[in-house]
């Protein structure tokens, strides 16, 4: 790939130098000598056709990209607000696509229609109030509509409140991992501050041990959420700016050192259900096919390595689809791998899992 890019750069530089010398030569020629270098009607016509060809190329590559790469998009939203969010995005895309299609056509068509012709002078056309009114008012109405709808959707999504008894979960970001904390039986998070972090005593989130709300808090490395229950997330960061990104739930919020940020959503599809989604099934099949092909190669390599008495490589596991929390701010060298698995399950499964977890109080008692 680097070789191809280098060659492309070299070729472009060569063309640029060639064109520059041509311009220089032209500027040196006398008027009658340079006549042969000026574009004639035929040249202009050919350039007009090339314009059309370029337009067809842009249309085709757009259609091709939709057809070929749509499978890489996320599956249906797994949160209650996600459907509205996706619909807003879809409508915006459709409008942009239609406008792009029409304006590109007009641009290329008029480029061709008014190509240079021998003896023809361009028309000087100062202004036309009606035309200007039309091309101002239509974008104003469409954009105002989209923006108002967007603002309304945004306000709805960002309205973090305590109605409907939400589950309170803290997402704690640090270079380069996530930790989640539940409020415990009382569903209230105990006070915490980075200054109270005590690694020796396993108080990794800096919980206030004197706060009675902290004792029953549950700290975990895998986020479990009961389906259908609203979750209010409280985000904290220990070191730099991170961003809690949960793409399947159409959720993202910055984690800022020194303050608590919030986001709220209701998961509506369990992990078991999303694995049945036909797009997800296809994606898993494709990925595991690639892994199986790689494993064939690794096995062959291992045979040679074994024969030489060298350590062998590990085979790739088959992949299962999971929801995921990612960091979406470039926060350092291992940013790319800053993630946590999210499991959405039934209320019963969630409760059974929660029972197996230790509370903060229990962990503190065990280290004392």
Residues contributing to the site for Cu ion (CB under 5 A): 242, 327, 331, 338
SS3 221: coil
Tokens of 101: 């299609």
Instruction: Report d(CA 180, CA 233) in Å as an integer.
Output: 10
Minimum distance, C-beta of residue 331 to Cu ion, in the bound complex (Å): 3
Neighbours of 137 (CB within 10 A): 10
Instruction: Report d(CA 146, CA 183) in Å as an integer.
Output: 39
Looking at the Cβ atoms of 108 and 329, the one nearer to Cu ion is: 329
DSSP states along 252-270: EEEE-BTS-EEEEE-B-S-
DSSP state of 212: T
Looking at the Cβ atoms of 327 and 364, the one nearer to Cu ion is: 327
Looking at the Cβ atoms of 325 and 338, the one nearer to Cu ion is: 338
Cβ(322)–Cβ(343) under 8 Å? Answer: yes
Looking at the Cβ atoms of 81 and 242, the one nearer to Cu ion is: 242
Element (H, E) at 104: helix 82-113
Minimum distance, C-beta of residue 342 to Cu ion, in the bound complex (Å): 16
Instruction: Report d(CA 108, CA 16) in Å as an integer.
Output: 25
Neighbours of 364 (CB within 10 A): 18
Minimum distance, C-beta of residue 244 to Cu ion, in the bound complex (Å): 9
Minimum distance, C-beta of residue 174 to Cu ion, in the bound complex (Å): 8
Minimum distance, C-beta of residue 170 to Cu ion, in the bound complex (Å): 16
Interacting residues of 257 by C-beta distance below 8 A, sequence separation 6+: 194, 237, 238, 239, 240, 241
Minimum distance, C-beta of residue 263 to Cu ion, in the bound complex (Å): 16
Minimum distance, C-beta of residue 188 to Cu ion, in the bound complex (Å): 27
Looking at the Cβ atoms of 246 and 327, the one nearer to Cu ion is: 327
Looking at the Cβ atoms of 60 and 259, the one nearer to Cu ion is: 259
Looking at the Cβ atoms of 189 and 326, the one nearer to Cu ion is: 326
Element (H, E) at 341: strand 339-345
């Amino acid at each position: 790939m680097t070789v191809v890019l280098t060659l492309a750069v070299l070729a472009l530089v060569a063309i640029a130098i060639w064109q520059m010398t041509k311009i220089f030569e032209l500027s040196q020629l006398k008027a009658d000598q340079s006549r042969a270098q000026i574009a004639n009607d035929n040249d202009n016509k050919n350039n007009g056709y090339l314009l059309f060809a370029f337009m067809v190329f842009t249309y085709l590559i757009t259609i091709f990209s939709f057809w070929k790469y749509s499978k890489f998009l996320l599956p249906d939203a797994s949160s209650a607000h996600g459907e509205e969010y996706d619909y807003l995005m879809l409508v915006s895309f459709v409008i942009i696509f239609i406008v792009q299609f029409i304006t590109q056509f007009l641009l290329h068509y008029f480029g061709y229609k008014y190509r240079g012709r021998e003896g023809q002078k361009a028309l000087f056309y100062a202004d036309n109030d009606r035309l200007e009114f039309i091309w101002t008012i239509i974008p104003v109405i469409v954009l105002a509509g989209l923006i108002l709808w967007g603002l309304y959707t945004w306000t709805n999504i960002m309205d973090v409140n305590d109605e409907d008894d939400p589950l309170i979960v803290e997402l704690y970001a640090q270079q380069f991992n996530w930790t989640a904390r539940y409020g415990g039986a009382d569903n209230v998070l105990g006070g915490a501050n980075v200054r109270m972090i005590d690694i020796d005593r396993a108080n990794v989130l800096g919980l206030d041990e004197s706060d009675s709300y902290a004792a029953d808090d549950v700290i975990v490395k895998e986020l479990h959420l009961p389906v259908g229950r609203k979750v209010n997330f409280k985000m904290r960061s220990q070191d730099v700016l991170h961003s809690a990104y949960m793409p399947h739930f159409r959720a993202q919020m910055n984690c800022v050192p020194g303050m608590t940020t919030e986001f709220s959503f209701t998961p509506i599809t369990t992990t078991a259900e999303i694995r049945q989604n036909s797009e997800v099934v296809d994606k898993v099949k494709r990925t595991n096919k690639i892994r199986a092909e790689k494993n064939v190669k690794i096995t062959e390599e291992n045979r040679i390595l074994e024969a030489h008495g060298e350590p062998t490589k590990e085979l790739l596991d088959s992949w299962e689809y999971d929801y995921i929390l990612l960091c979406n701010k470039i926060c350092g060298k291992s940013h790319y791998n800053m993630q946590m698995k999210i499991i959405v399950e039934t209320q019963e499964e969630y409760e059974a899992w929660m029972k197996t977890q230790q509370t903060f109080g229990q962990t503190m008692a065990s280290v004392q």
